[in-house]
Amino acid sequence: MEGNSLNLIDTHCHLNMPPLSNDTEGVLARAAARGVTRVIVPAYDEAAWPEVEALAGRPEVFSAFGLHPWVAHEVPPGGSLADFEKRLATQLNAGSAVAVGEIGLDTKVEDCGLTEQLPVLETQLALAADLDLPVILHCRGAFEELLTAVNKHGGQLRGVLHAYSRGPELAERFIAAGLHVAFGGAVTRDRAKRVRNAAARLPLDKIVLETDAPSIGLDGVLPVDTEPGHVHDLAQAVADIRDESFETIAEVTTANACRLFNLTT
**Residues of this chain that bind Zn ion (CB under 5 A):** 212
Q: 45 or 122, CB closer to Zn ion?
A: 45
Q: 160 or 239, CB closer to Zn ion?
A: 160
Q: Are 138 and 106 in contact (CB under 8 A)?
A: yes
Measured CA to CA, the distance from residue 195 to residue 209 in angstroms comes to 13
Cβ-proximal residue to Zn ion, closest one: 212
Angle subtended by helix axes 231-242 and 193-201, to nearest 10: 80
Beta strands in 171-257 (DSSP E): 179-183, 207-209
CB of 163 to Zn ion, least distance (A): 7
CB of 99 to Zn ion, least distance (A): 12
Q: Are 33 and 2 in contact (CB under 8 A)?
A: yes
Measured CA to CA, the distance from residue 49 to residue 201 in angstroms comes to 36
Instruction: Kindly give, in sequence order, each residue whose CB lies less than 8 Å from that of residue 80, ignoring residues fewer than 6 positions away.
Output: none
CB of 16 to Zn ion, least distance (A): 11
Measured CA to CA, the distance from residue 123 to residue 22 in angstroms comes to 33
For residue 60, give Cα distances in angstroms to 9, 72, 104.
9, 29, 26
CB of 254 to Zn ion, least distance (A): 20
CB of 66 to Zn ion, least distance (A): 11
Q: 1 or 17, CB closer to Zn ion?
A: 17
Q: 138 or 158, CB closer to Zn ion?
A: 138
CB of 231 to Zn ion, least distance (A): 14
Question: What is the C-alpha R_g of the chain?
Answer: 17
Q: 45 or 240, CB closer to Zn ion?
A: 45
Q: 53 or 239, CB closer to Zn ion?
A: 53
Partners of residue 161 on adjacent β-strands: 137, 181
CB of 147 to Zn ion, least distance (A): 20
Query: Taking the C-alpha atoms of 111, 116, 117 and 120 in order, what is their torsion angle to the nearest 10 degrees?
Result: -130
Q: 6 or 211, CB closer to Zn ion?
A: 211
DSSP state, residue 229: G
Q: 106 or 212, CB closer to Zn ion?
A: 212
Looking only at the bridges linking them, the beta strands covering 8-10 and 159-161 are: unpaired
CB of 248 to Zn ion, least distance (A): 27
Q: Terminal CA-to-CA distance of the chain, rounded, Å?
A: 19
